[in-house]
Homo-oligomer: A and B are copies of this chain.
Amino acid sequence: NATLRAELGRSTWKLFHTILARYPEKPNNLERKTLETFIQLFAQVYPCGDCARHFTGLLAKYPPQTTSRKAAALWGCDVHNKVNEKLHKPEYDCSKILTDYDCGC
């Protein structure tokens, strides 16, 4: 069902970008490993099978950048733009990613 898939996608991207926008500015090795493993497992459990397969391919080609909050958030923005491209959606301007997704919560 395409509507449910789109709704799930919107919810998921929101969580995904907010996690990256709140990731430590100077992560230690454990925090880096935690985020990297989380993203890999996320790609495995994501409920839309086609999406998960495509996303796993993107992760292999563009591995998560976890050296800093900014690197992680920009990486997340880039992979979302790759999905946008595939779906013929407009490109998002990644220069505003950290302010757009700062939940302060």
Contacts and interface: CB of A to CB of B under 8 A. Distances in A.
Interface residues of A, number: 31
A28 interface: no
Secondary structure at the A interface, as helix, strand, loop or mixed, is helix
Interface stretch (A44-52, A76-84, A87-95): A44-52
Contacts of A35: 45
* Integer count of this chain's copies in the complex: 2
Nearest to A47: B22
Interface string A9-47: 011101100110111000000000011011001101111
Interface of A: 1-2, 4-5, 7-8, 10-12, 14-15, 18-19, 21-23, 34-35, 37-38, 41-42, 44-48, 51, 103-105
10 contacts: A2-B105, A5-B103, A8-B105, A11-B12, A19-B47, A34-B41, A34-B45, A47-B103, A47-B105, A48-B105
